[in-house]
């Protein structure tokens, strides 16, 4: 029923004229509706390191285990909204836009956006809002940040979730070829229409949003292209993106779920085998017909996998 209401709203907006202003309004209202369904609200949090964070957080006081969800490169916290909707009232979600992304400011090329720096910034945010212990899950670049968090402050993490995560970062031959054949990274759209191509790389199946919404999202991504270039550069210079055989992962004893889309065009399934071999307390779930962003492509399946994992972890931790 809820999705039907959203689609009716979108249809009404298009019937009103379909101009850019109307489409932008429909996009904003649709996203607000999805956040409301998930029990999330927008918050702004200023931290001592000079960032004004945009955070999606569960409404009301913390009355359930805290789950911190970290998005991937070029994305923002809204990638996790449909996932959170599946588990509303079971967990207290904290979903930030990382510096350099989304609505967190400043967005500038003067900062270092390496994995290590971003992990420390997330800890600073959590300190500010009073979150001590938590589950964390990260997608793609966010997975590498989550690993770094587990390495730096393991006592604060209840569990670690790696969703098509970087960290080992074995890229598919297809994606490596795309990077070598072009001077333009397909994950960094330079105009609104190019975001459709970016999404084709990221998702194997529909993420459930109309084409005009993807275009509206593309306008925001294209406006941030210069900063995205800097994020990509800093991220790839950080040793935290190349952990295979370096002895880092075997020292991480945090219970870990590795969730992967079998059709990921960016990060190979080979990453799963390496993570499992090197992380001492890990399990893996592979979703068929799913690409690089399972929490958006298959939110119900992804949420089921994590809910079972978190119940096991919380059960073992209970006195």
The closest of 117, 192, 106, 173 to 149, measured between CA atoms, is 117
Q: Is 0.75 surpassed by the pTM of this model?
A: yes
So what's the pLDDT on residue 213? 81
Q: Are 151 and 33 in the same domain?
A: no
Cα 154 vs. chain centroid, distance in angstroms?
21
So what's the pLDDT on residue 286? 98
Phi-psi region of 247 (alpha: psi -120 to 50; beta: other; left: phi over 0): left
- Report residue 4's pLDDT band, with 50, 70 and 90 as the boundaries: very low
* pLDDT of 23 higher than 90: no
* pLDDT of 90 higher than 70: yes
So what's the pLDDT on residue 5? 47
* pLDDT of 102 higher than 80: yes
Q: Are 17 and 92 in the same domain?
A: no
- Which residues span the domain enclosing 25? 1-37
Residues 258-282, mean pLDDT to the nearest whole number: 98
Q: Are 11 and 52 in the same domain?
A: no
- Report residue 11's pLDDT band, with 50, 70 and 90 as the boundaries: low
Q: Are 18 and 162 in the same domain?
A: no
Please state the domain count of the chain: 2
Taking the C-alpha atoms of residue 200 and residue 6, their distance in angstroms, rounded to an integer, is 23
The 10s digit of each residue's pLDDT in 45-78 is 999 999 999 999 999 888 899 999 999 999 999 9
Q: Are 47 and 12 in the same domain?
A: no
Exposure b/e, 160-181, CB count within 10 A at least 16 = b: bbbbbbbbbbbbbeebeebeee
């Amino acid at each position: 029923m809820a999705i039907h209401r959203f689609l009716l709203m979108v249809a009404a907006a298009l019937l009103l004229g379909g101009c850019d202003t109307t489409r932008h309004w429909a996009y904003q209202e649709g996203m607000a509706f999805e956040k409301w369904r998930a029990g999330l609200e927008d918050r702004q949090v200023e931290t001592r390191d000079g960032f004004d964070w945009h955070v999606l957080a569960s409404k009301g006081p913390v009355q359930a285990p805290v789950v911190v969800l970290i998005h991937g490169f070029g994305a923002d916290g809204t990638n996790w909204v449909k996932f959170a909707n599946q588990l509303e009232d079971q967990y207290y979600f904290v979903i930030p836009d990382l510096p350099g992304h989304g609505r967190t400011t400043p967005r500038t090329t003067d900062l270092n956006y390496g994995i290590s720096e971003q992990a420390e910034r997330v800890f600073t945010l959590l300190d500010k809002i009073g979150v001590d212990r938590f589950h964390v899950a990260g997608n793609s670049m966010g997975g590498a940040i989550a690993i770094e968090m587990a390495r730096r402050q393991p006592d604060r993490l209840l569990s670690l979730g790696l969703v098509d995560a970087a960290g080992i970062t074995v890229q598919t031959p297809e994606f490596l070829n795309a990077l070598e054949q072009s001077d333009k990274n397909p994950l960094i759209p330079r105009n609104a229409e190019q975001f459709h191509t970016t999404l084709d790389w990221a998702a194997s199946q529909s993420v459930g949003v109309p084409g005009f919404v993807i275009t509206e999202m593309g306008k925001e991504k294209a406006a941030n292209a210069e900063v995205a270039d800097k994020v990509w550069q800093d991220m790839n210079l950080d040793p935290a993106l190349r952990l295979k055989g370096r002895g880092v992962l075997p020292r991480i004893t945090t219970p870990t779920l590795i969730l992967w889309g079998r059709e990921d065009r960016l990060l190979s399934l080979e990453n799963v085998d390496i993570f499992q071999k090197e992380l001492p307390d890990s399990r893996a779930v592979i979703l068929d017909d799913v690409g690089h962003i399972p929490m958006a492509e298959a939110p119900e399946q992804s949420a089921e996998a994590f809910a079972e994992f978190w119940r096991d972890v919380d059960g073992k931790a209970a006195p």
